[in-house]
Amino acid sequence: MEKHDAKRVAIIIEAIMESRLRQALEGAGVTGFSVLPVLGGSGRSGSWSRDDTVSRGGGMVQVICIIRPEKLDRMLEAAFEVVDRHIGVVTISDCQVLRADRF
Amino acid sequence: MEKHDAKRVAIIIEAIMESRLRQALEGAGVTGFSVLPVLGGSGRSGSWSRDDTVSRGGGMVQVICIIRPEKLDRMLEAAFEVVDRHIGVVTISDCQVLRADRF
Amino acid sequence: MEKHDAKRVAIIIEAIMESRLRQALEGAGVTGFSVLPVLGGSGRSGSWSRDDTVSRGGGMVQVICIIRPEKLDRMLEAAFEVVDRHIGVVTISDCQVLRADRF
Amino acid sequence: MQDVLSLAAQNLLSPIVLFFVLGVGAALARSDLTIPEAVAKGISLYLLFAIGFKGGVAVSNNGIDLTLGMTLMAGVILSFVLPFIAFALLRWISQLSRTDAAAVAGHYGSISIVTFVAATSVLQSSGIVAEGYMVAVAAAMEAPAIFSALLLVSSGGKGRMDGALIREILLNGSIVLLVGSFFIGWITGAEGMAKIEALIVSPFQGVLCLFLLDMGLVAGRGLKQGRAVLRPGPLVFGMLMPVIGSCLGLAFALIIGLSLGGAVLLMVLAASASYIAVPAAMRVALPEANPSVYLTLSLGVTFPFNLTLGIPLYLAMASAVHGG
Amino acid sequence: MQDVLSLAAQNLLSPIVLFFVLGVGAALARSDLTIPEAVAKGISLYLLFAIGFKGGVAVSNNGIDLTLGMTLMAGVILSFVLPFIAFALLRWISQLSRTDAAAVAGHYGSISIVTFVAATSVLQSSGIVAEGYMVAVAAAMEAPAIFSALLLVSSGGKGRMDGALIREILLNGSIVLLVGSFFIGWITGAEGMAKIEALIVSPFQGVLCLFLLDMGLVAGRGLKQGRAVLRPGPLVFGMLMPVIGSCLGLAFALIIGLSLGGAVLLMVLAASASYIAVPAAMRVALPEANPSVYLTLSLGVTFPFNLTLGIPLYLAMASAVHGG
Amino acid sequence: MQDVLSLAAQNLLSPIVLFFVLGVGAALARSDLTIPEAVAKGISLYLLFAIGFKGGVAVSNNGIDLTLGMTLMAGVILSFVLPFIAFALLRWISQLSRTDAAAVAGHYGSISIVTFVAATSVLQSSGIVAEGYMVAVAAAMEAPAIFSALLLVSSGGKGRMDGALIREILLNGSIVLLVGSFFIGWITGAEGMAKIEALIVSPFQGVLCLFLLDMGLVAGRGLKQGRAVLRPGPLVFGMLMPVIGSCLGLAFALIIGLSLGGAVLLMVLAASASYIAVPAAMRVALPEANPSVYLTLSLGVTFPFNLTLGIPLYLAMASAVHGG
Ligand SMILES: Nc1ncnc2c1ncn2[C@@H]1O[C@H](COP(=O)(O)O)[C@@H](O)[C@H]1O
Ligand SMILES: Nc1ncnc2c1ncn2[C@@H]1O[C@H](COP(=O)(O)O)[C@@H](O)[C@H]1O
Ligand SMILES: Nc1ncnc2c1ncn2[C@@H]1O[C@H](COP(=O)(O)O)[C@@H](O)[C@H]1O
Ligand code: NA
Ligand code: NA
Ligand code: NA
């Protein structure tokens, strides 16, 4: 099975910022990503859990983006723009992908 | 703490195909995997969000499978069989695992 | 964009053990982690799905922790303490992180 | 004609239609109003539970007669035949590919249970009674159209149907709950009804409003995503096909001798298009077909058409030709 | 005997039992019918809220007497003692390991609140009144059995109990809501009831049907997964143990002098087995025990047994020996 | 004074307050009782739907007059002005930074719809009628305060407001549902009400109890997390500011000539603090502000204060000065 190198970017960000991040990604020509729910967590700004958040929209989501290595930097810049002043985590790791024609 | 090398396969696929993928994996002798929810995303087939999908079963899920390197190819073939004509993404990455006796 | 090496630890564990794991992590000085829902899966102890679990709290969650490499071992020991007698999977992989000052 | 218009006007100002409109409006204005998925699913389970049970109790009260079997058969035939008509019409007035046209056609043979429920409400407020077993007919009409759709593409080597899929189609949750509640209503009859009436009768209309708000939100968002689909050909199809379906439904109803209410409901079933069971089956069996085509047409065009204009129109048509 | 059978037959054809059967059937036929987790959780919160509150209002209306304290104590004793009997019986008629047997035994000392609610419904339709404080007794019986189970394995060095777990057990959400609603019902009395009656009284039976549908789905799926467990020994245990429990419950009820209704409810509590609180505690404190053993027995065997045959049987037994 | 106390006592023993207290207690005792997020969201949609619709029907029944426009304007002015007062007060009695103080201030100009609903219940059980359009006033008061908060920090170069955010604020789901239901209630009037009354009127109080249980859980957990915030200054602010707001609200009500009920509701709106719309806007526009400060104050201090003591106090104040 043919595999192609790619990068996997995972961005944990406040749910309320999701639409802005989506737009920034699309603006940077990133057409493929998925959004996963996050139930709770802990960080410098304290610990939280979806069931305790007062304004129920107050949780976080994880946006996962599989991307060709050459597109990575442009994407990170676009994402950074949105994440910048906000809480959240951005990680990058190596992966391989099947069906690379789809990217 | 002893760590063992393993592969982490992540398959994003339509929820409606989940049971077929599960069967294919089990058929290929893959006994360990987890299914995670996906809230939304974007790809060549457009962008979607769980709250907007008409038929609420219409979303996607992410199947994650930690597997011994030597079993990888057989697993990918079985998964590919199911994913083939359908939308979705298959990624493979390296990882290490504790308690390898459990695999 | 400046990136820093880090480790990504993913622990799949019974939901009922989540609070204990959180405490153990905090006890080991791990201040950053996120908890993701798991819908179902399969393992040595059989296959399950969130909708079928009798006691609805009976599912599993995935705790993800991005951590500096030098803190990894202490964290794994603390986590292992909790996971030890229980079902679940612990994986470690390499990643890079933006905004490392936040860790 | 006067009557149709006044009926239509009255229908347009009913709470359920207005909440649907609110939902569409909110979606088009990009409000973040959403009904959580679990709540929407819960409401739809409630609706199936309630209408199945009520139908069963009605059958238990009035007994059944020969028309039951005939109507079920008529429903199955309609569901099986309508996709062929839809396919021919689509190929004629639109540029859709064979695959897309077949997938769309499958949706129009099957049914929309919410349209059915909305029609039941309209009948109720007009004081028209219908055969209780019509919900069973609705259930029987869900699946056959899927087989027609796959037949329509089978020559092209596309469309995969296997045992697992057939079981999934026939035992999908909605059918099982609807038919199960129907039988339980039938078995427990008036006594059973007395026990659960307070849940399934009086609050029903209010719950339906909330559900239609959600349908509006989903339809509105679908329209925004799928607006590329809305070229004249498909658009005309989405409003013409239900009328054709309703005429066929009316013909069958007259032949069988259904009551006025039963005739309207059979028309509505024939006229409505699926947006749950058939899309799911198409994703499995015909993944090459573009979902945004069939979803936009079914939910974005035909559903609102039936809800607002279709139902009063079918009622007027049936009233005009029905003996009494 | 005649009476038991007719009561059982009538019970078997009640909507709640039929919806449970529908759920089991749908699961066994591998239908994809499911109640979303959040909805099921919401319904169970509703049931706890409603029965707690109603119990409290009943106490506020009728006052309390000495029997309250005695019944609470009887409940705690039953919950604590039953696991030892269950353990002995299991070790005798099954091949289960000590650990598995202890875990199962713990479930049978604790209670199933849905079985309790179902019994309340049966009493209600038979026009039998019970002490309002029985819901408090139900709450008091949840936890002691867990300690017995852990005692049973402590000699083997297994079973970990710590402060966090004790707090989790005693303050688990179900107990807190049930007891809290009970006290609020007690405090606000008839006036409070007048305010929220429309939510917690009339629609209650209908909501219970939906919940039992879900229980059926879950039990059916559990049975399919856990069928390996269903060897004759455990199977017999799953139907014999509730009867033994009910006899002990009846004995206590007669000693205390509970009303007929109260006696039946204490029997049902003793007869029923936990499938929420105890499994959760076992996963934490006794992870070596196999969950599919205790869940299959408790939810797949004993719950359906009690729901269908057990409740009418206990009612018949109590009627036979109860003064009046 | 006698009256205020007896009213307050009566209020403290109402089911909704007791369920709130139960929730706070359960959270502080670290019980795992939780209402699933989807259920809580569903309940809040129900409440908005119900009170919007009821308000619209009331307007349809009684017609509108000049006071409607004046009250809307009063609401907008209050919402816009209160943050400046709150800011000044906070800077005076607390050590909060400009940014945090501005963020908190924004919350106190906006409103809490649950406090509004609770006040409606109190009025109802006291037999006091209020203008139906007060829900529209509530909707109008949600947003202006956000702009004030951003003005307060704009000199420091902080606070980002863009078109997307403005649309999000004005078209947030709660406002759209509340206002939409209000208009649909107005359009369909008594006839519409007859159709959905069984859902939105009689079970309302019971649903409100469940919602307040959830609010209590959330507030209690918030208090535990945010206890660091509760130094004397902010604490005094959290109880003083609502009283100041209510006085301003009363003044406007007297000028406009609102009924006693309407005056109390305007006071409550002015006195209450937002914990949904404003926090969300602050996270986007002013991420530097510490959420635990404004959430703890708004939900942990001011909400319970209003629910328990505030509402009876405002009613007493209004009764004292209102002509009748
Ligand atoms: N090291 C980490 N690993 C995983 N998730 C994290 C980490 N740090 C923060 N998070 C997530 O990001 C949220 C905000 O983090 P912070 O900005 O540090 O308060 C936390 O509540 C977690 O959900
Ligand atoms: N590059 C990607 N990274 C992460 N998820 C993706 C990516 N591409 C597609 N997806 C997910 O897979 C779904 C279908 O993708 P596609 O087949 O490209 O339409 C999308 O809606 C996303 O949820
Ligand atoms: N190899 C694996 N990859 C991913 N998830 C796994 C794997 N093995 C086990 N799991 C998850 O952990 C749960 C318990 O596993 P086990 O302890 O093997 O029964 C399973 O139900 C899965 O959700
Ligand atoms: Na049709
Ligand atoms: Na028991
Ligand atoms: Na205010």
Instruction: Give residue E145 CA to ligand 5 midpoint distance, Å.
Output: 9
DSSP state of C17: G
What is the Cα–Cα distance from F101 to F293, expressed in whole angstroms?
9
Residues D104-121 pLDDT 10s:
999 999 999 999 999 999
> How large is the average pLDDT for residues E110-117?
97
DSSP string over D45-80: HHHHHHHHHHHHHHHHHH---HHHHHHHHHHHHHHH
Give the residue from D10, D16, D13 showing the smallest Cα distance to D213: D16
Q: Residue B90 sits in a domain of what CATH number?
A: 3.30.70.120
Mean pLDDT per 10-residue interval, chain F, length 324 residues: 76 95 97 93 96 96 89 98 98 95 97 97 93 96 96 79 87 95 97 96 97 96 89 96 98 97 98 94 92 94 97 96 78
Instruction: Give residue B77 CA to ligand 2 midpoint distance, Å.
Output: 20
* Partner-chain contact D218 B52, CB within 8 Å: yes
Mutate to test the pocket of ligand 1, among C34, C62, C92, C101 (most ligand atoms within 8 A of CB): C34
pLDDT of residue C57: 55
* Partner-chain contact D15 F180, CB within 8 Å: no
Give the residue from E108, E197, A86 showing the smallest Cα distance to F288: A86
Give chain F's radius of gyration (CA, Å): 19
Interface of F with D in 14-43 (CB under 8 A): 36-39, 41-42
pLDDT of residue B84: 87
Region at C49 (left for phi over 0; alpha for psi -120 to 50; beta for the rest): beta
> How large is the average pLDDT for residues B77-86?
91
Locate the chain A residue with the closest alpha carbon to F220: A52
What is the Cα–Cα distance from D284 to B14, expressed in whole angstroms?
9
Instruction: Give residue F22 CA to ligand 5 midpoint distance, Å.
Output: 27
Angle, vertex CA D159, rays to CA D156 and CA D165, nearest 5: 165
Kindly indicate the confidence band of residue E197, based on its pLDDT and cuts at 50, 70 and 90. Answer: very high
What is the Cα–Cα distance from E2 to E319, expressed in whole angstroms?
13
Mutate to test the pocket of ligand 1, among A11, A18, A42 (most ligand atoms within 8 A of CB): A42
pLDDT at E233 over 80: yes
Q: How many CB pairs under 8 A join A and C?
A: 68
DSSP state of F301: I
Kindly indicate the confidence band of residue D237, based on its pLDDT and cuts at 50, 70 and 90. Answer: very high
Locate the chain C residue with the closest alpha carbon to B21: C41
Residues C2-45 pLDDT 10s:
899 999 999 999 999 999 999 999 999 998 999 999 999 999 88
pLDDT of residue C53: 64
> How large is the average pLDDT for residues D52-75?
93
Ligand 3 touching residue C41 (CB < 6 A)? yes
- Token pair of F113, please? 């719809």
With respect to residue C100, please indicate whether it lies within any of the assigned structural domains. no
Q: Are strands B60-67 and A88-97 parallel, antiparallel or unpaired?
A: unpaired
DSSP state of E142: S
Can you list the positions of beta strands (E) in chain D?
none
Ligand 1 touching residue A43 (CB < 6 A)? yes
**How many CB atoms are closer than 10 A to CB E13?**
15
Q: Are strands B88-97 and A88-97 parallel, antiparallel or unpaired?
A: antiparallel
What is the Cα–Cα distance from F147 to F256, expressed in whole angstroms?
25
The nearest CA of chain C is from the CA of A13 a distance in Å of 11
On whether the CB atoms of residues F249 and F265 are closer than 8 A, the answer is no
What is the Cα–Cα distance from E80 to C57, expressed in whole angstroms?
24
Average pLDDT in chain D? 94
With respect to residue C102, please indicate whether it lies within any of the assigned structural domains. no
* Site of tokens 């199960």: D180
Which tops the pLDDT comparison, D113 or E3? D113
What is the Cα–Cα distance from C6 to C70, expressed in whole angstroms?
9
Mutate to test the pocket of ligand 2, among A18, A30, A33, A98 (most ligand atoms within 8 A of CB): A33
Spell out the residues 6+ positions from residue E97 whose beta carbon is closer than 8 angstroms to its own. Answer: none
pLDDT at E188 over 50: yes
- Token pair of D232, please? 């004249």
Atom of ligand 1 minimally distant from the CA of A40: 23
Residues F56-87 pLDDT 10s:
999 999 888 889 999 999 999 999 999 999 99
- For residue A65, list its beta bridge partners: A9
The count of structural domains within chain C is 1
Ligand 2 touching residue A32 (CB < 6 A)? yes
- Token pair of D24, please? 């569409």
The count of structural domains within chain D is 1
Q: Collect all residues of chain D within an 8 Å Cβ-Cβ radius of residue E125.
A: 195
How many residues comprise chain F?
324
Query: Chains meeting F at 3+ CB pairs closer than 8 A?
Result: A, D, E
> How large is the average pLDDT for residues E280-306?
94
Kindly indicate the confidence band of residue D215, based on its pLDDT and cuts at 50, 70 and 90. Answer: very high
Ligand 1 touching residue A89 (CB < 6 A)? yes
pLDDT of residue E133: 95
A26 touches chain B (CB under 8 A): yes
pLDDT at A56 over 70: no
DSSP string over D83-94: HHHHHHHHHHHS
DSSP string over D149-194: HHHHHHTTT-----HHHHHHHHT-HHHHHHHHHHHHHHHHHHHHHH
Domain of residue A65, residue span? 2-95
What is the Cα–Cα distance from F88 to A8, expressed in whole angstroms?
48
pLDDT of residue E148: 96
- Token pair of D83, please? 């996709």
Mutate to test the pocket of ligand 1, among A11, A12, A47, A52 (most ligand atoms within 8 A of CB): A12
pLDDT of residue D63: 86
Which tops the pLDDT comparison, A101 or E193? E193
pLDDT at E269 over 50: yes
Q: Residue D77 sits in a domain of what CATH number?
A: 1.20.1530.20
Residues E75-92 pLDDT 10s:
999 999 999 999 999 999
Kindly indicate the confidence band of residue B56, based on its pLDDT and cuts at 50, 70 and 90. Answer: very low
Query: Chains meeting B at 3+ CB pairs closer than 8 A?
Result: A, C, D
Candidates D41, D49, D187; nearest CB to E18: D187
Angle, vertex CA E285, rays to CA E282 and CA E288, nearest 5: 75
Which tops the pLDDT comparison, E229 or D52? D52
What is the Cα–Cα distance from D21 to B61, expressed in whole angstroms?
32
Give chain B's radius of gyration (CA, Å): 15
* Partner-chain contact E184 F18, CB within 8 Å: yes
pLDDT at B102 over 80: no
What is the Cα–Cα distance from B64 to B57, expressed in whole angstroms?
20
Ligand closest to the CA atom of residue C63? 1
With respect to residue B57, please indicate whether it lies within any of the assigned structural domains. yes
Query: Could you give the ipTM of this predicted complex?
Result: 0.96
C92 touches chain B (CB under 8 A): yes
Instruction: Give residue C58 CA to ligand 1 midpoint distance, Å.
Output: 25
Kindly indicate the confidence band of residue D40, based on its pLDDT and cuts at 50, 70 and 90. Answer: very high
Domain of residue E22, residue span? 2-321
Q: How far is CA D212 from the centre of its chain?
A: 13
Ligand 1 touching residue C101 (CB < 6 A)? no
- Which H/E stretch holds residue B4? strand B4-14
- Which H/E stretch holds residue C67? strand C60-67
Ligand closest to the CA atom of residue F148? 6
- Token pair of D74, please? 């008529």
Q: Collect all residues of chain A within an 8 Å Cβ-Cβ radius of residue C35.
A: 38-41, 49
pLDDT of residue E63: 86
pLDDT of residue D206: 97
D210 touches chain E (CB under 8 A): no
Give the residue from E271, E279, E253, E260 showing the smallest Cα distance to E308: E271
Residues F115-155 pLDDT 10s:
999 999 999 989 999 999 999 999 999 999 999 999 999 87
What phi and psi values does residue A21 have, to the nearest 5 degrees?
A: -65, -45
**How many CB atoms are closer than 10 A to CB C73?**
11
pLDDT at B53 over 70: no
Q: Collect all residues of chain A within an 8 Å Cβ-Cβ radius of residue C61.
A: 39
C31 touches chain B (CB under 8 A): no
Kindly indicate the confidence band of residue C56, based on its pLDDT and cuts at 50, 70 and 90. Answer: very low
Average pLDDT in chain E? 94
Residues D278-292 pLDDT 10s:
999 999 999 999 999
What is the Cα–Cα distance from F158 to F151, expressed in whole angstroms?
9
> How large is the average pLDDT for residues E118-127?
93
pLDDT of residue F2: 62
Kindly indicate the confidence band of residue E127, based on its pLDDT and cuts at 50, 70 and 90. Answer: very high
pLDDT at E159 over 90: no
D124 touches chain F (CB under 8 A): no
Ligand closest to the CA atom of residue C4? 1
What phi and psi values does residue B37 have, to the nearest 5 degrees?
A: -75, 150
The nearest CA of chain B is from the CA of D32 a distance in Å of 10
Locate the chain A residue with the closest alpha carbon to B10: A97
What is the Cα–Cα distance from E55 to F307, expressed in whole angstroms?
26
> How large is the average pLDDT for residues E93-98?
95
Query: Chains meeting D at 3+ CB pairs closer than 8 A?
Result: B, E, F
Percent of chain E with pLDDT over 90: 86
Average pLDDT in chain F? 94
Residue E84 to residues A97, D278, E112, E156, Cα–Cα distance (Å): 57, 54, 18, 16
Task: Name the residue type at position A5.
Answer: D
How many angstroms separate the first and last alpha carbons of chain C?
17
pLDDT at D322 over 90: no
* Partner-chain contact D279 B51, CB within 8 Å: no
With respect to residue A101, please indicate whether it lies within any of the assigned structural domains. no
